[in-house]
Structures are given as structure tokens and as C-alpha cells.
Amino acid sequence: MKHRLSKPMAFLLVVLLMYLAAGLYDAERAVAALSFSVSMAGQILPVLALVFAIMLLSNVLLKSQWVKTHLGRDSGAGAWLVSVIAGIFSPGPIYPWLTLLKELKEKGMRPALIAVFLYSRGIKLPMLPLLIHYFGLAYALLLLLYIPLFALLSGVLIEKLPGLNEVEK
Amino acid sequence: MRLKKAFLKTRKSFLAILPVIAGMMLLTGLILQFVPIQALSSLMGKSKALDALSGALLGSVSAGQPLISYVLGGELLASGVSLVAVTALIVSWVTVGSVQLPFEVMMLGRRFAIVRNLISFVFSILIAILTVSTLSLLGVAL
């Protein structure tokens, strides 16, 4: 019986082969790369757990019809605002959040709101004191103002551009 | 029963995607080690207009903690690179995801992911110009 490698497993295999090649080229840097990735995995685990919980809840509570009504094509200004706030407060690396967004998109979430959520993640509240330390309060406040505004604008553009606003049936 | 069904569905989605998340994390480490971000920053400081573009490009191909972009931005600013370029770098660092693009394509579709990242790239330059212009209007100097 033939076993075909799934696309995700094939992707992982390719990356592992790249590590092998990198290790042969420069073992020290390959180990440093691996060490960075392991530390990133440490950060991602709690977020994965959080996203798993949200996905589970959404699978229990949210029916496609609810998503289509509240986050779909006819959702109102509130949905845009919620997307900005959710993006700002979504912690950790992007990968688990993309998994959640894929599920919500399949249930009928408007692509424009996905764009708004992703762009709003540009605001990193825990890093705010450091941004103020390096560039000053006025600079940090301006970025806090402009990033959400442009997040909304990116959603509007995604909505207007043809072929980008298809919601799963 | 409904909870069990939902749990199994969520677990299935998660298990299917875990190899890709693991692969992307490994790939990010590899790119950060082997793409010479510091060397790329030496391209900046030649012309203000090109600096904004270089800053946005540099931020777009980078990943990792935004703190790195603040430190790098601070160093570039001290070495004479314009604030517009540094701001474009800082903003594109957190809004454009070239490193994560393959995963975004897989999750949300090729066209959406590419267009969204292109929009974010252009916006990082616009935000940089707006931020610096506003600071200038307010009479705030860094």
C-alpha cells in the first residue's frame, strides 16, 4: 500500500533537510538557529493552548450562521472595532492565530476583518514602554493612533479589491 | 456529545497544522541566522527617499521580537539614517510577514496573503511619512 506524505509533513521534512544542509555549511549557526526556534516554541505553546481553547469554544458555540451575521459581509461597525481590539490584544506569534482565522473564514468571516485583525497586531502593548524609551512618548502615541487607522484602511482596501472578498459558502 | 464532537474537530484541525507551525518556527530561526539583517541595514543612509523603501524592505524580511527593531532603529538613527526610514522599518517589522508568508498563503489563500502583505508594506512607508510629518508639525524632535 502506498503512503503519500501529507503537505504539512512534506513541508516539515523540507525544512529539516534545509537544517541538515545548513548544518553541513555552518554547524554553529545552524545550532543557533535551532536554539532560537526552540525558544520561540516556548513562547508559542501557551498561545497554542489559548487558540485551541478559542477554536474549541467557537466550534461548540459559534454556528456558521452566527459568524456570517456578526463577522460576515453584512456585519456592522462593531465588528471592525472588535477586530482592531482583538488584533491589538492577541498575544504571541502569528501562526496559531492564522489557524483560528482560517476556521472563522470557513465559517463565513469577512476577509476584510481578517486583514484588520492581522494589521492591528502591529501594536505590541507589552513593548510600549520600550518603544517610549527608545523614541519618546509622542512618537509611540502617534504609532498607536496610525496603526489602527491603517488597519481599518487595509480592511477597506481588501473589501474593495476584486477577488479578495469571497466568503466561504 | 456536542462538546466531544467539537473537541475531535478542533484536535483534527490542530494536528493537521502542527507540522507546518513547527516547520515555520524552524524556518524563522534559520532565516534569522543566515540572512544578514545587519549587513542589509548598511544599504541605508544614502538617500532619504530610498531610505524609506530600504527601511520598509528591511523590516519586511525580518522577524522576531519588535525590541530588535527598536534597538536596530535606534542604532540606525544615531548613525544618520532618517527617522522616516527607521519608522518604516519598525512598522513593517510588525505588520509585514515575508517569513510567515508561506503559512499565511496556506491558511488564507495566496491572493489574499500576497495582496495583504503588499498593502501592509506600502502602509508602513505611509505611516512613517505621516508620523514624522506629524512630529514635525507638533515641533517634537527625537
Percent of chain B with pLDDT over 90: 37
Q: List the single best residue of B5, B116, B132 to mutate versus A (max A Cβ within 10 A).
A: B116
Contact B95 A52 (CB under 8 A): no
Averaged pLDDT, A51-66: 80
Q: Is the pLDDT of residue B29 over 50?
A: yes
Answer whether B28 sits within 8 Å of A139, measured CB to CB.
no
pLDDT-derived band at B1, boundaries 50, 70, 90 = low
pLDDT tens-digit series, residues B45-68: 667 678 889 889 989 988 777 877
CB contact under 8 A, A40 and B95: no
Residue of B nearest to A148 (CA): B127
* A120-142 average pLDDT score: 91
**Tens-digit pLDDT profile for residues B71-95:** 788 878 877 788 999 999 999 999 9
Mean pLDDT of A37-44: 84
pLDDT at A2: 59
The answer on pLDDT for B3 being more than 70 is yes
Find the mean pLDDT for residues B28-46.
74
pLDDT at A50 over 80: yes
**Average pLDDT of chain B?**
86
Nearest-Cα distance to chain A for B76, in Å, is: 12
Q: What pLDDT is recorded for position A167?
A: 52
Q: Is the CB of residue A35 less than 8 Å away from at least one CB of chain B?
A: yes
Q: CB–CB of A29 and B140 under 8 A?
A: no
Q: CA-CA distance, A164 to A110, in Å (whole number)? A: 10
Q: In A, residues 68-127, which contact B (CB 8 Å cutoff)?
A: 93-96, 98-99, 101-103, 105, 111, 114-115, 118-119, 121-124, 127
Q: pLDDT band at A169, cuts 50/70/90?
A: very low
ipTM of this model?
A: 0.83
What's the pLDDT score for residue B67?
Answer: 77
What's the rounded Cα separation, in Å, for the pair B106 and A101?
A: 12
Query: What was the pLDDT predicted at A33?
Result: 92
- CA distance linking residue B106 with residue B6, whole number of Å: 23
DSSP code for A122: T
A31 part of contact set with chain B, CB < 8 Å: no
Provide Rg for chain A, Cα atoms.
20
In this prediction, residues A35-48 reach a mean pLDDT of 85
**A11/B107 Cα distance (integer angstroms):** 14
